[in-house]
Amino acid sequence: MSTPAAVEPRTAPTTVPVPVVSLRGLLPYWIFAGIVLMLAIYFVGAEEGATSVFAGSNVHELVHDARHLLGFPCH
Ligand SMILES: [Zn+2]
């Protein structure tokens, strides 16, 4: 007859407090996300021709499929 494996004594489950972040604490992240989103919308929607920041059409070609996917006029 084999001996049973050692069983550790059961202990009561411990509770771990969930960290709560206030809306004011999230404000810098929301601002950063908004800036990144606005830059993305600019480069997808308006980086072309007279409104282009970078010369040439490299940025336009890079985001060309996204432009059509989002319904921005292109060609
Ligand atoms: Zn196009």
Q: How many domains does the chain have?
A: 1
Which three-class secondary structure string do you get for the chain? CCCCCCCCCCCCCCCCCCCCCCHHHHHHHHHHHHHHHHHHHHHHHCCCHHHCCCCCCHHHHHCHHHHHHHCCCCC
Using the predicted structure, report yes or no on whether residue 1 has a pLDDT greater than 70.
no
Q: For 65-75, what is the mean pLDDT?
A: 86
d(CA 28, CA 33): 9
In a domain, 11, yes or no: no
42 alpha carbon – ligand 1 mean position (Å): 16
**Residue 2 within a domain:** no
CA of 49 to the centre of ligand 1 (A): 13
Q: What is the pLDDT of residues 47-66, one digit of tens each?
A: 777 777 878 778 888 888 88
Write down the pTM of the prediction: 0.58
Find the domain containing 48 and state its range: 44-75
pLDDT in tens, 24-47: 999 999 999 999 999 988 888 887
Å from CA of 34 to ligand 1 middle:
26
